[in-house]
Amino acid sequence: MTLTLEQLVGAGYDVQPAPVDDWREFDELDPVPGYFHFDWLSSRHPDLYHRFALSTDGLMDELEKLVDLTGLAVADIGAGTGRSTMAAARKAKTVMAVDPFESVISYGKDVASRAGMRNVGYVRGNTARLPLADDSFDACISSWAVVDYREAFRVLRPDGYLIQLGAAPGALCGELTPMLASMFPDIITEVAPGGQLDAACPASDSVIPDAEWNGLPVSAPTILHDFTYVADYADYCEAAAILGRLYGPVVRQYMLDRRQATLSWRLRIAVARVNKSAETPALKGDHQ
């Protein structure tokens, strides 16, 4: 059934997923959900989002070089269709995936079930009010998701890892960022220098020496790791279809003209350790 954007918004977190591959048929001039509407795209078409989110695989593979999740209890905040959850579960003792959309949770549960993963759980909840107990996790990860840092701090144990994974500054859409910046200026507000978006750009590391990160007390330093990952969709027509549905016909044509099945990303992993011994009064008692 075709829905309007108003109907999707009205459905809230209970939006029903469309049939598999339904995303392939849409009005390029007036798509519903619209381009860059990632919450609605993932909730209405979780199969599309799961095919697209290869950059999460790259982020989680790289994270293994920075943080050992072996034996840890991990919360995956804004888990989406489960690529980050499944990757964390390779090493972690347990992974609890949190997402607000029922359709996405159902998709992720199915992915975990088919993979035979027994250390993965799913819970539906708003990331601004996590349905998780205080001091119950050794690490909180968040891949391409909005994080309420106070909530992440609350559920982490002392010295727990707070890990954020996504695009490096100015690289929101990988190599497509310069092309899309003029079309979506309210979304893409920064474009990295061209060399940083090149597939050959070497990895770089930096630190934030402060004892605070995103308003939280942390054990300095916070580590920032930038690297390049090339997502390979195997077939250029499939890449054009997936990326065109998410970003628009200009991107679809870009992939077709180049017969290009890959997308180069400049990604960033930020790793902090929370310092609960320095907890400020403003961080206490916020969760009822």
Q: Region 245-260: what's the mean pLDDT?
A: 98
Taking the C-alpha atoms of residue 212 and residue 216, their distance in angstroms, rounded to an integer, is 5
On the question of pLDDT at 178 being above 70, the answer is yes
CA atoms within 13 A on the CB side of 125: 19
Residue 288 is predicted with a pLDDT of 35
Residue 218 is predicted with a pLDDT of 96
Mean pLDDT (the chain, rounded): 94
The pLDDT-based confidence of 199 (bands split at 50, 70, 90) is confident
Q: Region 31-59: what's the mean pLDDT?
A: 96
Residue 167 is predicted with a pLDDT of 98
CA 139 → CA 99, 153, 178, 184, 240, distances in Å? 17, 10, 34, 34, 36
On the question of pLDDT at 36 being above 90, the answer is yes
Residue 287 is predicted with a pLDDT of 43
The amino acid at 87: A
Q: Region 193-220: what's the mean pLDDT?
A: 93
Taking the C-alpha atoms of residue 264 and residue 114, their distance in angstroms, rounded to an integer, is 29
On the question of pLDDT at 191 being above 80, the answer is yes
The amino acid at 78: G
On the question of pLDDT at 280 being above 90, the answer is no
Residue 126 is predicted with a pLDDT of 87
Ranges of each domain in the chain: 5-17+27-276
The pLDDT-based confidence of 284 (bands split at 50, 70, 90) is low
Taking the C-alpha atoms of residue 142 and residue 207, their distance in angstroms, rounded to an integer, is 19
Q: Region 111-134: what's the mean pLDDT?
A: 94
The pLDDT-based confidence of 9 (bands split at 50, 70, 90) is confident
Q: Cα angle at 66 between 64 and 70, to 5 degrees?
A: 50
pTM (predicted TM-score): 0.94
Instruction: Please list the residues that pair with 225 across neighbouring strands.
Output: 205, 269
CA atoms within 13 A on the CB side of 57: 9
Residue 107 is predicted with a pLDDT of 96
Q: Region 14-23: what's the mean pLDDT?
A: 95
CA-closest candidate to residue 229, choices 175, 151, 288, 158 = 175
CATH fold of the domain at 5-17+27-276: Rossmann fold (3.40.50)
Tell which wins on pLDDT, 284 or 162: 162
Query: CB–CB of 144/229 below 8 Å?
Result: no
Q: Cα angle at 233 between 230 and 239, to 5 degrees?
A: 110
Q: Which residue is it, tokens 């795209």?
A: 41
Helix, coil or strand: residue 40:
helix
On the question of pLDDT at 279 being above 70, the answer is no
Write the pLDDT tens digit of every residue in 232-243: 999 999 999 999
Q: Region 31-35: what's the mean pLDDT?
A: 96
Taking the C-alpha atoms of residue 89 and residue 96, their distance in angstroms, rounded to an integer, is 9
CA-closest candidate to residue 24, choices 222, 273, 244, 172 = 244
Q: Region 154-182: what's the mean pLDDT?
A: 97
On the question of pLDDT at 179 being above 90, the answer is yes
Which residue stretches of the chain are H helix?
5-11, 38-44, 46-52, 54-66, 83-88, 102-114, 149-155, 177-181, 236-247, 249-258
Residue 285 is predicted with a pLDDT of 45
Taking the C-alpha atoms of residue 22 and residue 259, their distance in angstroms, rounded to an integer, is 24
Residue 4 is predicted with a pLDDT of 87
